[in-house]
Amino acid sequence: MKPKFKGKHFITLEEWTNEEINTLLDVSKDLKKKFKTNEPTEYLKNKTAFLMFFEQSTRTRNSMEAGLAQLGGHGTFLDTSTMQISHGESAKDTATILSSYGHGIAARNCFWGIGNRYLREMAKFSTVPVMNLQCDLYHPMQGLADLMTIQEIKKDTKKLNVSIIWAYAESHKKPISVPLTQVLLFPRYGMNVTLAYPEGYDLPEWVLEKAKQNAQDHGGAFKVTHDMESAYKDADVVIPKNWGSWVRNQSDQVVDTLLEANRSWKCTEAMMALAKPTVSYMHALPADRENEVENVVIDGKHSIVYQEAENRLHTAKAVMAMTMGDK
């Protein structure tokens, strides 16, 4: 049965089959090729999407706005602090009205315990697709771009050793949505996934159980360790990135005793030397340079962060073209 994409919400990749994700990746690759050769891709001509941001963004906002323009459509950036949301307007009313004005709604809301619920509430009342630009639990746009990048660099994903590793950072208390999305998605493509973090930076138990099930169902593997060095050893891909201790501690305080106790969790040349000689370093960006990662690593020969960031444009376009398009 041919997958139906038009009008489908994009809130978590867990609600998209591998067949559907593969189609998105095929479209992404085609759009990337056409972008390089300046071939027009006006698949969303005269269509509008509303881009709601509850917080700051660089890659996500610009990949969506540029992507819509390249698809022939228009993106309306909405700072929610200047909307009636800031005065208490409900998700129902916002979604009902905005969906009557255009062809898609996308939102970033990472507030712990609120973000995903807000997106789900909008999706319930929206007559157009609702796209998750990152919430407290999921970041499907990033996950899709990460998968595309790994496929470009490594070709076959089966039995790849991919390590998702917590790293020290002081910039802000970051959501768990990037590592959570990765541990659920990568095992579905046959990867051997290791999740490494100091005790206290847990992901929800249901996520670990689902990651194990996804690995079992698709020929991958999944394990958790609290030993940083073992996660780097023999890795094909390493993704050292900070995330907050939201599961155990809902305070939004950035620097605390738990964080300070784990300063040694840093991606260094010495750690990279434990991985395979062909290891790739990835990061969703922005990286907290010299805290999460040494400059010599992120700017070095193993780093593919800029290719990963570029792919955010093409995968975002694929999601919009398929869900907002006429087919």
In a domain, 8, yes or no: no
In a domain, 293, yes or no: yes
Supply the pLDDT for residue 188: 98
Kind plus residue range of the DSSP H or E element containing 62: helix 59-70
174 and 29 within one domain:
no
List phi, psi (to 5°) of 73: -105, -165
In a domain, 288, yes or no: yes
Quote the crossing angle between the two packed helices 177-185 and 140-154, to the nearest 10°.
Answer: 50
Q: Map tokens 């789900």 to a residue.
A: 120
Supply the pLDDT for residue 2: 59
Longest dimension (CA), the chain: 55
In a domain, 122, yes or no: yes
156 and 99 within one domain:
no
Q: Are 189 and 219 in contact (CB under 8 A)?
A: no
Supply the pLDDT for residue 326: 83
Give, in order, the Cα–Cα distances in Å from 183 to each of 105, 176, 197, 232, 261: 26, 11, 13, 16, 25
CATH number of the domain that 177 lies in?
3.40.50.1370
Close Cβ partners of 272 (under 8 Å, ≥ 6 residues apart) = 232, 238, 279, 281, 297, 302
Q: Are 226 and 196 in contact (CB under 8 A)?
A: yes
Quote the crossing angle between the two packed helices 115-125 and 91-101, to the nearest 10°.
Answer: 50
206 and 170 within one domain:
yes
195 and 184 within one domain:
yes
287 and 184 within one domain:
yes
Supply the pLDDT for residue 1: 46
Cα angle at 48 between 42 and 53, to 5 degrees? 120
- Cα 122 to its chain centre, rounded Å, is 20
181 and 67 within one domain:
no
146 and 24 within one domain:
no
95 and 213 within one domain:
no
319 and 301 within one domain:
no
299 and 173 within one domain:
yes
The domain in which residue 46 lies consists of 13-139+311-324
192 and 109 within one domain:
no
164 and 110 within one domain:
no
In a domain, 135, yes or no: yes
In a domain, 7, yes or no: no
In a domain, 2, yes or no: no
Chunked into runs of 10 residues, the chain (327 residues) has average pLDDT values of: 84 98 98 98 97 95 98 97 96 98 98 98 98 98 98 97 98 96 98 98 98 98 98 98 97 95 98 98 97 98 98 98 89
Supply the pLDDT for residue 127: 98
In a domain, 276, yes or no: yes
| Number of independent structural domains in the chain | 2
